[in-house]
Amino acid sequence: MSSFKKTFFQSYNIGKCIGKGGFGMVYAGIRLIDNKPVAIKTIKIERLKNWEKERQIPIEITLLEKVKTINGVIRIIEWYKVWKYFFIVMERNENEIDLFNFITERKFLNENLAVSIFTEVLNAIISCYNVGVLHRDIKDENILIDVKTYNVKIIDFGAGCFIKNNDSCYHDFNGTRLYSPPEWITDNIYLGKEATVWSLGILLFDMVCGDIPFKTDEEIIFGKLIFRKGLSKACKDLIKKCLSKNHEKRPTLQEISNHKWISSRKNY
């Protein structure tokens, strides 16, 4: 038994699976020294696509280490290499569920709750961007919400990357296709900021309408937005701007932060 394997299994108990994705499985775990709940992500080495070359570890670990002090982002505790796997140990709050289930239980979110959640996500994304990290898979399933406090955390940086010089375009993308922008579907071009803004528009529509707006490539490219009745003009305006088919017309992250839908509801 390797020292890493021995140390890991002497330190943690692994429980039931609580999540899975394209890059690994996530299990509920307990840290034995203090019975602290943790989340343990297992990643099979042969399935890894993105590596940090210097340390020969998944880029996800490097990204998590970079953003671990940012509010609204899941915190990595430590990691292990065990046989054919990497194990990433992260914090776990037993009051949290993913935003997908949170929305499903309520059918849709009222605008006052939506703006609170959306603003937290936006601020976390801006903070990640400021330290050079792009998440590249913002969606309801990758956001945890505490059902008591409504505080949120972004999880799963498996599709993430470090920002290139001048945030130039990327020609690789392993995020969720239904959250990807038209320029990726048509030209395989992923522009960091502009694509992030598009995914935020999809997320906001999902929160206030109860489902994502587009279900096929054709709808992403040509589809029109059909809003739930009763939404404010300001909310619809922000969504329309974020989901502009022309990436050059989408707002910046800071412009989203300053949008009247957010600024007029900051006291809620």
User: Residue 32 corresponds to which amino acid?
Assistant: L
Q: What phi and psi values does residue 167 have, to the nearest 5 degrees?
A: 50, 50
Distant-in-sequence, close-in-space partners of 247: CB < 8 Å, separation ≥ 6 = 181, 182, 183, 191, 194, 195, 198
Beta-carbon count within 10 A of 35 CB: 8
Beta-carbon count within 10 A of 143 CB: 25
- Of the residues 137, 140, 156, 206, which is catalytic? 137
Distant-in-sequence, close-in-space partners of 62: CB < 8 Å, separation ≥ 6 = 52, 55
Per the annotation, does 91 bind a ligand? yes
- What is the Cα–Cα distance from 235 to 238, expressed in whole angstroms? 5
Catalytic residue check, 206: no
**Structural contact between residues 196 and 138, judged by C-beta atoms closer than 8 angstroms:** yes
Per the annotation, does 84 bind a ligand? no
Per the annotation, does 41 bind a ligand? yes
**Structural contact between residues 157 and 60, judged by C-beta atoms closer than 8 angstroms:** yes
- What is the Cα–Cα distance from 83 to 77, expressed in whole angstroms? 20
Burial class (CB in 10 A: 0-12, 13-18, 19+), 97: middle
CA–chain centroid gap for 197, Å, is 13
Report the SS3 class of residue 58.
strand
Residue set of the binding site for ATP: 41, 91, 98
The residues annotated as belonging to the active site are: 137
